[in-house]
C-alpha cells in the first residue's frame, strides 16, 4: 500500500509540474514573434518529448528497479520484456525530443527580456 501511495504522490507532483510547464510554454508561444512561430512550436514539442521520455526513464529505472515500488506488469512471470519495452519506448521518445531540439533555432530575446 505504501508503494502505491508513494507512486501516486510522485505522479500527482509530476502532473502538477507538467501543467505549470505547459502554461509557461504556451505563454511563450503566445508572446512569440511571428517570424519565429515554427521555431517556438518546434521547441515546445521538443520539450514535451524530452520531458515525457525523461520522466518515463526515471520512473522505469529509479521507481521500478532501484526502489522496487512496482513493476510495469506486476502479474508477469518474467517482467524483463515489459521493462525493456517501457524503457526502450522512453528512450525513443527522448531521441525524438533531441532531434526536434537540434533542428530548432535558439529562442530570441526581445523587449523586456533583452539584455543590454
pLDDT tens, residue by residue, 40-92: 778 888 888 998 999 899 989 988 888 887 788 878 889 889 999 999 999 99
The pLDDT of residue 61: 92
The pLDDT of residue 98: 92
Are the C-beta atoms of 70 and 63 separated by less than 8 Å? Answer: yes
CA dihedral 86, 88, 89, 95 (to 10 degrees): 150
In angstroms, the Cα distances linking 101 to 17, 44, 77, 97 are 21, 9, 39, 6
Q: Cell digits for 14? A: 509530476
> What is the end-to-end Cα distance of the chain in Å, rounded?
55
Above 70 in pLDDT, residue 110? no
Q: Range with the lowest mean pLDDT among 8-12, 19-23, 29-33, 83-87?
A: 29-33
Residue 22: pLDDT band by 50, 70, 90 thresholds?
Answer: confident
Amino acid at each position: 500500500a505504501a508503494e502505491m501511495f508513494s507512486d501516486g504522490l510522485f505522479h500527482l507532483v509530476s502532473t502538477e509540474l507538467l501543467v505549470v510547464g505547459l502554461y509557461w510554454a504556451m505563454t511563450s508561444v503566445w508572446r512569440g514573434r511571428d517570424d519565429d512561430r515554427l521555431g517556438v512550436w518546434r521547441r515546445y514539442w521538443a520539450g514535451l518529448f524530452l520531458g515525457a521520455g525523461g520522466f518515463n526513464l526515471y520512473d522505469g529505472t529509479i521507481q521500478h528497479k532501484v526502489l522496487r515500488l512496482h513493476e510495469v506488469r506486476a502479474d508477469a512471470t518474467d517482467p524483463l520484456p515489459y521493462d525493456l519495452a517501457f524503457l526502450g519506448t522512453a528512450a525513443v521518445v527522448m531521441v525524438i525530443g533531441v532531434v526536434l531540439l537540434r533542428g530548432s533555432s535558439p529562442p530570441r530575446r526581445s523587449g523586456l527580456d533583452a539584455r543590454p
